[in-house]
Amino acid sequence: MRHERGFTLIELLMTMAILVVMATLAGPPMASMIATQRLRGVATDFHQSLLKARSEAIKRNTSVTVNPIGGSWAAGWSIVDPANPSGQPLEQRSSDGAVAVATSLTQIVYRGSGRIAATTTPTFVFSASSASESRCVAIDPSGRPYGTKGSTC
């Protein structure tokens, strides 16, 4: 009697059924994790852009402005080149719009000293409908940006 190697059709179908059930159970948490990572990435990118704008203002000893793209921070932002305001920005970041940004500011201006030209502490709250958390980026009076987990800074 000769033994055949391999799987039977029933064994293969049972394995596939178990994999489908496991994938179905893992789907929603994976989507939430992806949304949370996207949210963290956008908040981190914004924080890094603020650090760069502050650094450029200090280095050039002139005001450097960070503007939202198209009037919406959720669409992205750009760091205006003070030497050529209508030309190529120093940095431009765009977003796919999956992350919402709540703030009352229309721009951020860093002075040559590295401080911001605002009388209150600017805050930006990043959130996404499919993410389980939010992120807050604020700028202290000295101009240094900092980020925290949650919707309050």
What CATH number should be reported for the domain holding residue 34? 3.55.40.10
Over the chain, what is the mean pLDDT?
88
* Residue spans of beta strands (DSSP E) within 26-107: 64-69, 72-79, 91-94, 100-102
Mean pLDDT of 53-82: 93
Range of the domain at 56: 9-149
What's the token pair of residue 152? 């309050």
* Phi, psi angles (nearest 5°) of residue 34: -65, -45
Distances (CA, A) of 142 to 18, 53, 124: 57, 14, 17
Residue 106 lies in a domain: yes
**Predicted pLDDT at 151:** 76
Residue 93 lies in a domain: yes
Mean pLDDT of 34-58: 92
**Predicted pLDDT at 1:** 63
The CA distance from 144 to 19, in Å, is 49
* Residue spans of beta strands (DSSP E) within the chain: 64-69, 72-79, 91-94, 100-102, 108-110, 123-127, 135-139, 145-149
Number of compact structural domains in the chain: 1
For 18, counting Cβ atoms within 10 Å of its Cβ (0-12 exposed, 13-18 middle, 19+ buried), the class is: exposed
**Predicted pLDDT at 78:** 95
Residue 1 lies in a domain: no
**Predicted pLDDT at 87:** 87
Query: Higher model confidence: residue 1 or residue 69?
Result: 69
Percent of the chain surpassing pLDDT 70: 98
Percent of the chain surpassing pLDDT 90: 51
Do residues 90 and 84 lie in contact, with contact meaning Cβ atoms separated by under 8 Å? no
Residue 81 lies in a domain: yes
| pLDDT beyond 70 at 24 | yes
Residue 111 lies in a domain: yes
How many CA atoms lie within 13 Å of 58's alpha carbon, on the beta-carbon side? Answer: 13
| pLDDT beyond 90 at 46 | yes
Query: Higher model confidence: residue 85 or residue 60?
Result: 60
